[in-house]
């Protein structure tokens, strides 16, 4: 009998999740074990000082909730503190390029560290194993070292252009990160080299021994706050001590008879539901997978949802998000009629430029008891900051706030910014059918959308659904991966669309999914992210 399945971008992390299942743990235990290893072996994609969103479905206990742990602007942040330093808005609308990268790299980029509190909360509410036990594999990879994988090396070497800092700056600009991640001669480690981080191992050991309060209110917290104070950081002791996880009911929608459970704003689930509602009014299968008409139609839905996100979706504690409107079938029918009329939506941008950094990771897991978990967690754009002696890197989520006061995404103390994270569970009747999510910045919602369409409209299994060529339209430009046909590109240009081809064959999010059928679960791990799906 299959006890469970885990899919994630890092083989080492998937093995840790499977080991937890083999030791009698449930899917929640597996996800947390996986996440903790991810923080070590993919240290710029996620970390204990990051943020995220998790959906948990446990039919045996009649539980179905979303745990939201979005980073919040520190209490010292102000709405106008960067308003005069704007260079441009990111081309996909997710963040701003500021003079000196003050919102992107360094101590000013850090929002409240949420992830560790969330891992512990999930285990306390839904798990069966102790954090101290599940953290052991992560400690081993920190102290004994992990092998640098191709995608880790790719990230370190990536230069996105259009004003964004080269990714090497995130591990080389500040001395403590440089000491950990660069070779003594200042060069970047190559794939296959071993990276050890004993300081992180010691921090994880202290957490295992004393609990997560050591991080938020104990000696580790003292070290964090002293470092912030010495470097003009925004984060305060009160910010750390007040970190709490939000538990909400899922946001529900439907698509062609399937029930879709998504996370709430400021997460990206609302965008996925809006796009599905629009596309339900089209015969997508009849258009043909990745045909010019298909890509144009789906791209228009992407653009509409992007504009609505930019202008209407934010932290509901600060912004009146029109959830009922954006998830309405009537509203979607009106929008689909606009698409059918030939209308092309314009996505406004301030000096449109680069693309969002895709510094996030995901886990999908299920167990023999029917428990399903989808969790996306991240550092956003890693800040490059490592407190001496602690070994972990902090998030850089302040980069995504709008530095213009009075906007939906403007800075405010305690406010979370929009994130495209969209951990989704699709139900066929009352039974889970598809567990899906992705890393990838603003590409997340677009990658998750296409996986759902691939499974429901084109009857693909999980592997083929996450491996099929993708495209992404978060501006007026349709971005296509290199496996989209050249003749399709020319046809789109003939329809009046600007098209930009990526050199990458697997791009626009790193989707990881599980599909349930009468014969059991099948899994897919995005081939562009080095990961795997594994059953036990």
Does 536 reside within a domain? Answer: no
CATH of the domain at 332: 1.10.246.130
Which region among 67-71, 397-401, 512-516 has the lowest average model confidence (pLDDT)? 397-401
Could you tell me if 237 and 258 lie in one domain?
Answer: no
Q: Based on the domain organization, do 280 and 319 belong to the same domain?
A: yes
More confident residue, 101 or 495: 495
**Does 218 score more than 60 pLDDT?**
yes
Verify that 272 and 128 share a domain, yes or no.
Answer: no
Q: Is residue 6 part of a domain?
A: no
Residues 311 and 305: their CA atoms lie apart, in Å, by 10
Same domain, 177 and 28: yes
Is residue 63 situated within a structural domain? no
Q: Whose CA is closest to 380, among 115, 121, 150?
A: 115
Distance CA 181, CA 146 (A): 12
pLDDT in tens, 409-429: 999 999 999 999 999 999 999
The verdict on 194 and 264 lying in the same domain is no
In order of 73, 117, 215, 467, the CA distances from 114 in angstroms are 12, 6, 11, 31
pLDDT at 2: 59
Can you tell me the mean pLDDT for 4-16?
A: 97
- Reported as a pLDDT band with limits 50, 70 and 90, residue 1 is very low
Q: Same domain, yes or no, for 272 and 142?
A: no
Residue 27: half-sphere exposure toward Cβ, Cα within 13 Å: 30
Residue 331 and residue 468 in one domain: yes
Tell whether 8 is covered by a domain: no
Same domain assignment for residues 263 and 278: yes
Residue 355 has a pLDDT of 45
Q: Which of 203, 360, 419, 488 is catalytic?
A: 360
DSSP symbol at 31: H
Q: Which domain holds residue 439?
A: 248-348+421-530
Q: Domain check: are 123 and 179 in the same one?
A: yes
* Average confidence score pLDDT of the chain: 94
Catalytic residue at 474?
A: no
Tell me what the mean pLDDT of segment 299-327 comes to: 97
The β-bridge partners of 515 are 434, 522
User: Do 28 and 87 belong to one domain?
Assistant: yes
With a cut of 80, say whether residue 353 has pLDDT above it. no
Q: pTM to 2 decimals?
A: 0.95
- Inform me whether the pLDDT recorded for 94 exceeds 80: no
Give the pLDDT confidence of 433-443 residue by residue, as tens digits. Answer: 999 999 988 89
Whether residue 60 lies inside any domain: the answer is no
Q: In this structure, is residue 96 part of a structural domain?
A: yes
What is the tally of structural domains in the chain?
2
pLDDT (0 to 100) of residue 357? 46
For residues 269 and 220, membership in a common domain is answered with no
Residues recorded for the chain: 536
* Residue 119, in any domain of the structure: yes
């Amino acid at each position: 009998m299959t006890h469970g399945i885990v899919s994630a971008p890092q083989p080492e992390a998937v093995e840790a999740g499977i080991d937890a299942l083999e030791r009698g743990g449930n899917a929640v235990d597996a996800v947390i074990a996986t996440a903790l290893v991810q923080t070590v072996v993919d240290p710029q994609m996620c970390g204990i000082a990051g943020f995220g969103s998790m959906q948990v479905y446990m039919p045996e206990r009649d539980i179905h909730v979303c745990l939201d742990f979005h980073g919040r602007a520190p209490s010292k942040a102000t709405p106008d503190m960067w308003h005069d330093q704007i260079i441009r808005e990111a081309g996909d609308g997710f963040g701003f390029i500021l003079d000196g990268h003050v919102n992107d790299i360094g101590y000013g980029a850090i929002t409240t560290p949420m992830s560790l509190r969330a891992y512990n909360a999930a285990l306390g509410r839904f798990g069966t194993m102790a954090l101290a036990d599940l953290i052991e594999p992560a400690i081993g990879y920190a102290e004994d070292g992990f092998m640098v994988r191709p995608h880790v090396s790719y990230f370190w070497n990536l230069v996105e252009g259009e004003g964004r800092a080269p990714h090497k700056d995130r591990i080389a600009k500040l001395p403590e990160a440089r000491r950990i991640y660069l070779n003594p001669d200042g060069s970047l480690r190559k794939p296959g080299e071993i990276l050890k981080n004993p300081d992180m191992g010691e921090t994880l050991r202290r957490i295992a021994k004393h609990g997560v309060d050591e991080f938020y209110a104990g000696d580790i917290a003292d070290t964090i706050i002293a470092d912030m104070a010495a470097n003009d950081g925004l984060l305060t002791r009160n910010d750390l001590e007040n970190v709490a996880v939000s538990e909400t009911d899922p946001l529900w929608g439907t698509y062609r008879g399937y029930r879709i459970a998504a996370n709430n704003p400021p997460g990206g689930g609302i965008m996925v539901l809006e796009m599905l509602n629009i596309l339900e009014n089209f015969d997508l299968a009849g258009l043909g997978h990745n045909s010019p008409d298909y890509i144009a139609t789906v791209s228009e839905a992407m653009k509409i949802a992007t504009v609505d996100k930019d202008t209407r979706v934010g932290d509901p504690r600060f912004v009146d998000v029109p959830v009922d409107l954006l998830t309405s079938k009537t509203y979607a029918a009106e929008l689909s009629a606009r698409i059918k009329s030939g209308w092309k939506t314009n996505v406004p941008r301030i000096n449109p430029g680069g693309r969002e950094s895709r510094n996030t990771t995901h886990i999908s897991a299920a167990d023999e008891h029917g428990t399903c978990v989808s969790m996306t967690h991240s550092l956003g754009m890693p800040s490059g900051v490592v407190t001496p002696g602690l070994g972990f890197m902090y998030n850089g989520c302040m980069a995504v706030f709008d530095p213009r006061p009075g906007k939906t995404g403007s800075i405010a103390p305690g406010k979370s910014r929009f994130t495209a994270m969209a951990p989704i569970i699709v139900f066929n009747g009352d039974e889970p059918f598809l567990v899906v999510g992705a890393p990838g910045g603003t590409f997340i919602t677009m990658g998750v959308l296409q996986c759902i369409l691939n499974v429901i409209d084109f009857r693909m299994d999980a592997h083929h659904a996450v491996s099929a060529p993708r495209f992404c339209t978060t501006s007026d430009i349709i971005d296509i991966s290199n496996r989209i046909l050249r003749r399709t590109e020319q046809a789109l240009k003939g329809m009046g669309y600007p098209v930009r081809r990526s050199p990458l064959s697997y791009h626009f999010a790193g989707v990881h999914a599980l599909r349930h059928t009468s014969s059991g679960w099948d899994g897919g791990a995005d081939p562009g992210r080095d990961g795997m799906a594994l059953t036990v």
